[in-house]
């Protein structure tokens, strides 16, 4: 049997926007630099030795391509769970004030998620679980994913206003409709239509 990891620990990105990337992760995650030299930087936001590392490809591979030259394959997104819907939306509001907004806000049914792109277009998902019990999440997937495996988009500003005017998180976390199916949006392009179910 495969031994599962205990927790998510770090991501390493190759970048040609080294300084801009470090600043973005400091702003968005409250991260601090643990170690940095011209070619590499290691950042963390908690007691882990590093949560992110960046390899400066402009230094390591100066003739290898331009800043937007990325292949069609690679990491699609990495995901982070927040403690509560209030935390997720307070973070949304903080970032919006910094001029950083999600490219996709989607109720997956099992999570309420916001997707962001960093300056290089690397995609990440900030989420809150809709079900306290994984068995309930599994039951939802069996019931609803045949109709909609992607999710239903929502308006983050409307939800923020609802939360701040006292709507309980439980009301927003419980998805009441499986439709319409959202397109799969992308940080760096128009995205693409969900596969037909």
**Interface with Fe ion by CB under 5 A: which residues?**
79, 125
- For Fe ion, give the closer residue by CB, 75 or 174: 75
- For Fe ion, give the closer residue by CB, 67 or 191: 191
Report, in Å, the least distance between residue 75 CB and Fe ion: 11
- For Fe ion, give the closer residue by CB, 43 or 124: 124
Report, in Å, the least distance between residue 19 CB and Fe ion: 28
Q: Which residues contact 89 (CB under 8 A, 6 or more apart)?
A: 156, 159, 160, 163
Report, in Å, the least distance between residue 113 CB and Fe ion: 7
- For Fe ion, give the closer residue by CB, 79 or 147: 79
Report, in Å, the least distance between residue 124 CB and Fe ion: 9
Question: 101 burial class (0-12, 13-18, 19+ CB within 10 angstroms)?
Answer: middle
- For Fe ion, give the closer residue by CB, 12 or 79: 79
- The alpha carbon of residue 90 and the mean position of all alpha carbons in its chain are separated, in whole angstroms, by 15
Complete edge-to-edge strand list for the sheet that includes strand 52-56: 11-15, 52-56, 40-44, 32-36
- For Fe ion, give the closer residue by CB, 115 or 159: 115
Quick one: tokens of 163? 């939360």
Q: How many CA atoms lie within 13 A of 63 on its CB side?
A: 0
What is the C-alpha to C-alpha distance for residues 104 and 126, in angstroms, rounded to an integer? 11
Report, in Å, the least distance between residue 129 CB and Fe ion: 12
Report, in Å, the least distance between residue 84 CB and Fe ion: 18
Is the Cβ–Cβ distance between 106 and 151 less than 8 Å? yes
Quote the crossing angle between the two packed helices 85-97 and 156-164, to the nearest 10°: 120
């Amino acid at each position: 049997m495969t031994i599962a990891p205990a927790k998510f620990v770090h991501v390493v990105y190759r970048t040609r926007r080294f300084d801009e990337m470090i600043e973005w992760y400091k702003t968005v995650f409250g991260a601090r630099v643990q170690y940095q030299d011209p070619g590499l930087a290691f950042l963390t936001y908690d007691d882990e030795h590093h949560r992110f590392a960046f390899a400066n490809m402009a230094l390591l591979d100066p003739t290898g391509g331009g800043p937007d030259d990325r292949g069609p394959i690679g990491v699609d997104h990495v995901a982070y769970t927040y403690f509560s819907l209030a935390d997720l939306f307070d973070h949304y509001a903080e970032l919006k004030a910094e001029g950083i907004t999600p490219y996709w806000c989607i109720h997956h049914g099992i999570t309420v998620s916001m997707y962001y792109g960093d300056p290089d277009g690397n995609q990440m998902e900030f989420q809150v679980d809709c079900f306290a019990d994984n068995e309930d999440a599994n039951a939802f997937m069996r019931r609803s994913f045949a109709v909609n495996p992607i999710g239903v988009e929502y308006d983050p500003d409307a939800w923020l206003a609802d939360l701040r005017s006292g709507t309980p998180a439980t009301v927003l976390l419980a998805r009441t409709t499986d439709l319409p199916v959202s397109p799969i949006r992308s940080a760096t392009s128009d995205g693409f239509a969900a596969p037909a179910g």
